[in-house]
Structure 1
Amino acid sequence: MDQSKMKIEFNDNEIILYKKLSIIDYLVLDFSEILARNNIRYVLFSRYVSILFGNNETNEEKEERKDIDILIQNISFEKFLKLWLEIERSYECKNTGDPIDAYNAYLKNHHAVRIAKKDNQIPEFRIKIVKNEMDRFTLKYRKKIILGDRNLFISPLEMQIPYNLFKGSPKDIDDARYLYKLSREKLNITMMERFLGELKIPKESIDAYLKI
């Protein structure tokens, strides 16, 4: 994406993006709004965050299956079933067709429940529930992204950048550098350094990739 055509406003807990929405943006917004309608607190993390902010995909990545990683609060089966009944109208679960199995064997065991639109198998939405303190922090301090009259929630960039470095693939490192360069003047560096430490990112990697 041409960054000259995208404008960003950073506020306290909100980021306003002025950009032309892509097909994947619309699909993510639609699915996120289903979660919101069902009063399920969620946060988008990993690869999509960088895509949302305009980091172009390589030709190789365009050929790969896209996964949209979503972390949600711990929910009861009753709440999950209500969500299931709504999404099964237009989506299908790739793990299983049984909501009890999806909840007990996958979600509660911290395995991703993989959801895709029936008429469009890309992207897959990979839903997981919170597992540890870092997950709970990510969900608690999520950032609201405003896209015109619609919105969604992403992980704090102070968490997302260290997480990308932790994953460590060339693509993830590129995402970390891109997000840091884009937002460094607005980042809480103390918070980011905390998570760099918790994820045990080597100092030489931080110096090489971020140059804090």
Structure 2
Amino acid sequence: MTPHLEVKFPTDEFDRASLTNSIDAQVAGATIPIGPLELQIAYKLFLRGQKDFKAAAHLYLLFRETLSTDRLEQWVERLDVTEEYERLKSI
């Protein structure tokens, strides 16, 4: 799967949190800072599109073993996507 990269300026607390709490990803031998996976998953659920849910599910299943459940659930609560998260956990 080819990752989708997006560049934009921070406009809200979630954008700023993504930059402030970035993690390093290794892509083609280069290190690229990306937003924390927990926030990416919760934000995809917040968008509520079928394609976004599939993207959240892909990240969730791929990184399930290394995700911080506490951090993920904090973002889920802040973005008010508890129902979507429950659906995600059941897959």
Q: Give the TM-score normalised by the residue count of structure 1.
A: 0.39
Return 5+ residue gaps in structure 2 as ranges. Answer: none
Q: Which has the larger helix fraction?
A: 2
Q: Distance in 2 between matches of 1:200 and 1:188?
A: 18
2:27 alignment partner, one of 116, 122, 147: 147
Alignment-mate amino acid for residue 59 of structure 2: L
How many pairs are equivalent? 91
2:68 alignment partner, one of 157, 171, 188: 188
Q: Distance in 2 between matches of 1:159 and 1:194?
A: 9
Change in CA separation of 1:147 and 1:129 when aligned onto 2, cut-off 3 Å: closer
Q: Give the TM-score normalised by the residue count of structure 2.
A: 0.85
Identical counterparts, % of pairs: 31
2:15 alignment partner, one of 103, 113, 135: 135
Q: Distance in 2 between matches of 1:177 and 1:138?
A: 19
Q: Distance in 1 between matches of 2:66 and 2:83?
A: 23
Which of 1 and 2 has greater Rg? 1
Return 5+ residue gaps in structure 1 as ranges. Answer: 2-50, 53-66, 71-127
Q: Deviations over 1:94-129 (max 9, x none)?
A: xxxxxxxxxxxxxxxxxxxxxxxxxxxxxxxxxx32
Q: Distance in 1 between matches of 2:66 and 2:5?
A: 25
Q: Distance in 1 between matches of 2:15 and 2:53?
A: 21
Moved over 4 A (4+): none
Q: Which has the larger strand fraction?
A: 1
Over aligned residues, Cα RMSD in angstroms?
Answer: 2.0
Q: How does 1:30-179 map to 2 (within 5 A)?
A: 51-52=2-3, 68-70=5-7, 128-179=8-59
